[in-house]
Structure 1
């Protein structure tokens, strides 16, 4: 396990409930927080609402297969480590999985202890986790409109002027810009940005987002879109009504 304040969260995606329970139960006993999904759509729902540290993804899924799910996640910019599970153990199959963006490839039948060892190895290689609201380990700079957000120095500029921004607002904006174009639930934003869950009647996140929007005012543009029934999304184009369109078309709840 990595040494941070919450247990590593693992999503186990397989259409076989017995295998999900076998893997999930073992990983839970080992101290991981496990979320089970039976297909790509269920995984999308989990990723929308939770901060996931690693995905265990079966190839043969109903609907969209696991390799396509993996490729789509990588195309969306999702950097979460992925371990592919497959009954096919030929070199060509393994190469295909790794080419799609998987970090490892494990053949069935699965030995839970071997899977745990591979999970531990991947998480050890992963970038050190940053404190919520803390500086980015890499000196990332995001530019949109007249704004420049430096995640390393935690500064927000509009042209030549440095804007006053609080630590909480930095944390929220960092989560949003790192998931550009991806609708995120209020719960996931709070979990990643602040390192804790939202209470049932906690509206503080919405207050902070409202203040961020005022800070990022640029004429009629809105860089933080509301995705109705889901949460918020960062859109560097600033187009109006994108969030409403996503909700109406059902894209926010799918891929």
Structure 2
């Protein structure tokens, strides 16, 4: 049975979710803040966290930063029907797998919970992608050029880079890249891909001529990763 932790102060939201998910073969725990969540996770393995930003926005986002991308914990953020665009982008880029605004159907919510759990990568597998003198590790979620220090990437930037590395030489539309970076609200965040592209190009040194122009714009179609990519599968020990 999978363990789910709900983090949030609003009992009116928390209790219906606990009751519904408990009926569908999930073991549910609920806490009111980040500190209690960390304490709970120290004593019990958690497979997914649901973070309610309706109350305690900063506390909830800090939890996502601490346990999302850094510790590879699948997280779903839920919030009220009015959501600031910046909050949604921050939540997704710092490690959340999904962002859902209320009201929402419980059947759909259960499907999103299961989808978020399926996205969790295998911990004993490490895929290395190489292009020119760059190296990307999926286990460490790191980007490095030669012997230089790792280049820091947000969760959104890393997911975008992975979409390109898995499809070198292929034109990817904004819609495809939106799905790959897990930014679900296409109407609101259609242009956010362009922002991520600019940032990723900068981190790959494309703003410093005559460096290779890895990510090229195909006008009216999308973007293409213009480099040969070599892939190596590694197995790492558990524990």
Looking at secondary structure, tell me which structure has more strand per residue.
2
The TM-score, its normalising length taken from structure 2, stands at 0.49
The TM-score, its normalising length taken from structure 1, stands at 0.46
